[in-house]
Chain A
Amino acid sequence: MPTFYAVEFKPWVFLEPQNLKVTANFLGDFFPPVFQSEFLLLLLKDAWTTIAIATAGMALALVFSVPLSIAASSALSVSSLTGPMHPVGFLVRQSIRWLLIVLRSIPELVWALIFVRVVGLGPAAGVLAIAVTYTGMLGKIYGEILESGDTQTSRAILVGGGGRLQAFSYGLLPQNATELLSYSVYRWECAIRSSAVLGFVGAGGLGQQMDASMKMFNGGEVATILMVLMLLVAMADQISSWMRRAVQ
């Protein structure tokens, strides 16, 4: 209850006649959605930009987060096999953890505003914003997946004289592959949504189009854009289930 109070959650305001009218007008504007071929073609291009921003951002994030999560994972600590973790190893792992916290605690929207200043308006700012935030998120979750799974194989490899990366590729990776994959694909889906949002601050794609349509009070166009977004997310969902089945 205190949280409801804090956010001034008063559902009954929806039912006041004044507000009902505003809501009805706003929603009424959505109909009919715009299906002109010219606009659809434009949306197709924007949807592609949105997917491209998300995918490029994800790819960059993977490049950085995979090594960071391997380095940060205590499951690959040789010293903690037989006692407390070596201080150097602890320091390295802890500082990577802090770096990941910094990267992901700043929302991608803020990163995007920063990068728009640096590289100018356009998709590049969106790609960088997603890359930075998602490096933080993926690095943290990958590290946790690696630590929470069964670590017996990787520990056995380390005690058998194998290297950390060998323990990763022969122990942790096969043990956690499906989880890592399905989480990554889910995050790609999230990246598509956030790249749409980033469009509002000028990073291009569907978001920028939606921003323009909203500013012109063109509800029909907004409705169409939302439908395209839903289609994209449904598509990502389908791809995710295909990929998981392929790895099973």
Chain B
Amino acid sequence: MEILLEGLDARHRAVASDGPKALQNLSLRVQAGSHLAVIGPSGAGKTSLLQILATGLRPLEGRLSIGGADPWTLGGTGLKRLRSRIFYAPQVPPLPPRQRVVTALSSARLPELSLAGSILNLIRPQFAQQGYQALCAFDLGEKLWLRVDRLSGGERQRIGLAKAFMSCAEVWLVDEPLSALDPKRSQQAIEALLEEATRRGVTLIATLHQVEVARQMFPRVIGLREGQLRFDLPRESVTDAALRELYNQYEYELEQTPVGPGREASLMLPASNSPVIACR
């Protein structure tokens, strides 16, 4: 689905109505099936942007169009249908501690299930096969039947990403997918995401703290700061100077980017366990 923003303003719901805006006059066009990284210092509005696109936050002003329609003119049923075509993965995935991984994963399929079907799925999981394949892409295959509270923070984050593989959405919005992962896992996770998004033709938008990952893996990078678009460039044009300006006074965030050895080698890894998940 193509995404279009024009002169968009937004304010976080917890902020008073005269408080600072999270996004200001933001214009952006994301072609269907393209991959985009959003970078910028903390508080730049990266998460707000994803929430706007996930229709979890309503813009104050400006034009928003997702797949050719303004979500906020669609009405209840239309909005619900649109929402089922968008997958949003928050930085900390919302997983009930006592739920099993297989159930948590299948919650990504709820929009296509009837109520009876989804209750039945609680008793007799129907998506075990797909769940296992999605987990395998993140090296978590053996965790399928465990309870969420048995998992570490990094494992939970990867479960959250595996949920994207489970969903039938055409847009994946991924917020800081690597924040709880070590460099090796980060590399593996972002490769798996990009590969699967390409295979399915999914539009992938990810916010990243790891500037180097954004520059190496994503064809297009946008820089946000104080809710404003600072640059919107193909990756080869993202210069060190542009980054320094974007992170001016936030240099420590730029420096902590992990640069693991052997990244080039791991980039060459063949597509081994590419999951095949059929969507209705």
Contacts and interface: CB of A to CB of B under 8 A. Distances in A.
A247 B99 CA distance: 11
Interface in B92-119: 94-99, 103, 107-108, 110-111, 113, 115, 118-119
Interface in B195-248: none
A165 B115 contact: yes
Contacts of B80: 78, 161, 163
Contacts of A247: 98
A161 B96 contact: no
A160 B108 contact: yes
Interface in A133-168: 150, 152-153, 155-157, 159-163, 165-166
A217 interface: no
Nearest to A174: B96
B55 A159 contact: yes
A82 interface: yes
A166 B82 CA distance: 17
Given A161-B80, A169-B122, A152 B88 contact: no
A83 interface: yes
Interface residues of B, number: 34
A85 to B, nearest CB: 13
Contacts of B88: 156, 159-160
A83 B58 contact: yes
B81 interface: yes
Contact of B83 (A160, A166, A177): A160
Tier of interface size on chain A: 20 to 34
A119 B111 CA distance: 47
A82 B122 contact: no
Contacts of B90: 152, 156
B85 A166 contact: no
A56 B99 CA distance: 31
Nearest to A152: B94
A171 B118 CA distance: 12
Contacts of A152: 90, 94
Interface of A: 78, 81-83, 150, 152-153, 155-157, 159-163, 165-166, 169-171, 174-175, 177-178, 247
28 contacts: A78-B80, A81-B56, A152-B90, A152-B94, A153-B95, A155-B56, A156-B88, A156-B94, A157-B110, A159-B54, A159-B55, A159-B56, A159-B83, A160-B86, A161-B80, A161-B86, A161-B111, A162-B107, A162-B110, A163-B115, A169-B122, A170-B99, A170-B110, A170-B122, A171-B96, A174-B99, A177-B98, A247-B98
Given A152-B94, A159-B88, A171-B96, 12 more contacts: A83-B13, A153-B94, A155-B94, A159-B54, A159-B83, A160-B84, A160-B107, A160-B110, A160-B111, A161-B110, A166-B115, A170-B103
